[in-house]
Chain A
Amino acid sequence: MALPHMAAAFNLAYWLVKNRTDADDVVQDAFVRAYRAFGGFEGEDIRPWLLAIVRNVALRWLHDRKRAGNVISFDEALSQRSLEAPGVVQVASDEPSAEAALIAEGERRRVHRALAELAPIYREVVVLREIEQLSYREIALVTGVPMGTVMSRLARGRDDLRAILIRQKAKDEPDAV
Chain B
Amino acid sequence: MRCELERERLSAYLDRELAREDYRDVAAHVGSCPRCAAVLADLREVGRLVVASGREPPPKELRGRITSALASAGERSRSGTWPMRRTRVLAQAAALLIACGLTALVTASLLVRTDRETLIARDSVAAHVRSLLQGSPTQVASSDSHTVKPWFTGRLEFSPPVRDFAAEGFPLEGARLDYIGERRVAALVYRRRLHVITVFLWPAQGEGEDTARTFRHNGYNVLAWSKAGLAYRAVSDLNAEELRQLTALL
Using known A-B contacts A162-B46, A165-B49, determine if residue A136 contacts B66 with beta carbons closer than 8 Å: no
Q: Which of the segments A57-65, A69-77, A152-160 contacts the partner chain? A: A152-160
Q: How far is the CA of A23 from the CA of B57 in the complex (A)?
A: 11
- The answer, yes or no, to whether A35 is at the interface (CB within 8 Å) is yes
Q: How far is the CA of A40 from the CA of B63 in the complex (A)?
A: 15
Chain A residues positioned under 8 Å from B102 (CB to CB)? none
- The answer, yes or no, to whether A141 is at the interface (CB within 8 Å) is no
Q: Which residue on B lies nearest to A28, using beta carbons?
A: B69
| Nearest CB in chain B: distance from A98 CB, A | 18
Q: Which residue on A lies nearest to B17, using beta carbons?
A: A136
Chain B residues positioned under 8 Å from A24 (CB to CB)? 58-59, 62, 65
Partner of A151, one of B8, B42, B43: B8
| Nearest CB in chain B: distance from A39 CB, A | 11
Using known A-B contacts A11-B55, A87-B57, determine if residue A130 contacts B70 with beta carbons closer than 8 Å: no
- The answer, yes or no, to whether B54 is at the interface (CB within 8 Å) is yes
Q: Which residue on A lies nearest to B65, using beta carbons?
A: A28
- The answer, yes or no, to whether B227 is at the interface (CB within 8 Å) is no
- The answer, yes or no, to whether B133 is at the interface (CB within 8 Å) is no
Flag if B15 contacts A129 (CB, 8 Å).
Answer: yes
Chain B residues positioned under 8 Å from A112 (CB to CB)? 53
Flag if A27 contacts B42 (CB, 8 Å).
Answer: no
Number of contacting residues on B, CB 8 A?
33
Q: Which residue on B lies nearest to A9, using beta carbons?
A: B58
Chain B residues positioned under 8 Å from A88 (CB to CB)? 54, 57
Q: Count chain B CB atoms within 10 A of each CB in A11, A88, A158 and give the residue with the most.
A: A158
B66-102 residues at the A interface, CB under 8 angstroms: 66-67, 69-70, 73, 77
Chain A residues positioned under 8 Å from B69 (CB to CB)? 28-29, 31-32
B10-34 residues at the A interface, CB under 8 angstroms: 10-12, 15, 17
Flag if A151 contacts B11 (CB, 8 Å).
Answer: yes
Convert A23-63 into 0s and 1s, putting 1 for each residue whose CB lies closer than 8 angstroms to a CB of B: 11001110110011000000000000000000000000000
Secondary structure of the A side of the interface? helix
Number of contacting residues on A, CB 8 A?
46
Chain B residues positioned under 8 Å from A115 (CB to CB)? 50, 53
Flag if B59 contacts A20 (CB, 8 Å).
Answer: yes
Q: How far is the CA of A104 from the CA of B54 in the complex (A)?
A: 12
Chain B residues positioned under 8 Å from A31 (CB to CB)? 66, 69-70
Q: Which residue on A lies nearest to B68, using beta carbons?
A: A28
- The answer, yes or no, to whether B150 is at the interface (CB within 8 Å) is no
Partner of A158, one of B47, B56, B62: B47
Flag if B65 contacts A131 (CB, 8 Å).
Answer: no
- The answer, yes or no, to whether B52 is at the interface (CB within 8 Å) is yes
| Nearest CB in chain B: distance from A91 CB, A | 9
Flag if B43 contacts A162 (CB, 8 Å).
Answer: yes
Using known A-B contacts A28-B65, A131-B50, A136-B17, determine if residue A152 contacts B56 with beta carbons closer than 8 Å: no
Flag if B46 contacts A27 (CB, 8 Å).
Answer: no
Q: Count chain A CB atoms within 10 A of each CB in B17, B56, B57 and give the residue with the most.
A: B56
Flag if A1 contacts B50 (CB, 8 Å).
Answer: no
Convert A105-148 into 0s and 1s, putting 1 for each residue whose CB lies closer than 8 angstroms to a CB of B: 00110011001000000000011011100011000000000000
Partner of A7, one of B10, B55, B77: B55
Q: Which residue on B lies nearest to A148, using beta carbons?
A: B8
Flag if A130 contacts B51 (CB, 8 Å).
Answer: yes
Using known A-B contacts A14-B56, A152-B4, determine if residue A126 contacts B62 with beta carbons closer than 8 Å: no
Q: How far is the CA of A11 from the CA of B58 in the complex (A)?
A: 7
Chain A residues positioned under 8 Å from B17 (CB to CB)? 135-136, 151
Q: How far is the CA of A83 from the CA of B11 in the complex (A)?
A: 30
Q: How far is the CA of A135 from the CA of B50 in the complex (A)?
A: 16
Q: How far is the CA of A109 from the CA of B128 in the complex (A)?
A: 103
Q: A1-B67, A7-B55 are in contact. List 15 more A-B contacts (CB 8 A).
A: A6-B58, A32-B70, A87-B54, A87-B56, A107-B49, A107-B53, A111-B52, A126-B50, A130-B47, A131-B54, A136-B15, A155-B7, A155-B8, A155-B11, A159-B43
